[in-house]
């Protein structure tokens, strides 16, 4: 059964737990099947690579690894505070995401 994901690409998120607890970053990618997201500047790993066309020198490359979505909270753009996200149908009949703390609404694309 597929869980609902309240985080989408481009959101600014706050890390609740793990080694990077307290950091903020922009979501670069969401993997719905694995329930994970890649966040800019969070969960950075060192990857050893051989020389290739993309990296002619090879060596150690730093890049972001996936982090479980349960460890992330969306930051409300209005109040700049981490918040939970809900979904509801507005008066126009469109599905919108809303901040449970400030009730700030944002249309889902």
Pairwise CA distance, residues 69 & 88, whole Å: 21
Order of strands across the sheet with 72-75? Answer: 66-68, 36-39, 24-31, 12-15, 72-75, 82-83
Contact 16, 1 (CB under 8 A): no
List the domains of the chain with CATH numbers: 1-75 (2.30.30.30), 79-109 (no CATH)
pLDDT digits (tens, 9 = 90+) for 81-107: 899 988 888 888 888 888 888 877 765
pTM higher than 0.85 for the full model? no
Residue pLDDT, tens place only, 21-48: 999 999 999 999 999 999 999 999 999 9
């Amino acid at each position: 059964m597929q869980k609902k994901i309240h985080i989408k690409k481009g959101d600014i998120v706050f890390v609740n737990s793990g080694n990077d607890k307290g950091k903020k970053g922009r979501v670069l990618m969401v993997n719905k099947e694995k329930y994970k997201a890649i966040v800019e500047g969070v969960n950075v790993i060192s990857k050893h690579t051989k020389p290739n066309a993309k990296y002619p020198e090879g060596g150690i490359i730093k890049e972001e690894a996936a982090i479980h979505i349960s460890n992330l909270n969306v930051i409300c753009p209005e109040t700049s505070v981490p918040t939970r996200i809900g979904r509801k149908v507005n008066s126009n009949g469109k599905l919108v995401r809303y901040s449970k703390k400030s009730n700030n609404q944002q249309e889902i694309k």
